[in-house]
Amino acid sequence: MKENKKKLIKFKEEKNFENLMEVILAFRVNALQISPELRKSFVYELIKIDIFKIEEDRDNVFVIDLLAYHAYNLRHATLSLITIIAATFKGVEYLLSNGCSILDKVIEVIIL
């Protein structure tokens, strides 16, 4: 999982949207293919590795940037992963740990 996070960061820095989307979708597919009993543990592992660099950077810029790209497929993939994380209490805490800017951006993307 940590290797995929490194790829996520690398592809975002390179603005390699196609590979970036594939990595995000791989996390989503893994979460959906795992048994429901283990899904919570998977989400907790995503939080533990700080998949969106929320704790590492002490801000929400990484995930907000992912949602700001004009590539519809990338925004959709990011929203899908956010919803999986937000399905747990710890996930909501993680996403809101630096304020509501992620939630604000999600609402903005959905409305537009």
Closest CA to 20 of 88, 99, 109, 81: 81
pLDDT in tens, 37-66: 899 999 999 999 999 999 999 999 999 999
- Contact of 55 with 64, CB cutoff 8 Å: no
Residue 36 reports pLDDT greater than 90: no
Distance CA 43, CA 19 (A): 22
- Percentage of the chain lying above the pLDDT 90 cut: 90
Residue 112 reports pLDDT greater than 90: no
The pLDDT of residue 91: 96
* Confidence band, pLDDT 50/70/90 cuts, at residue 98: very high
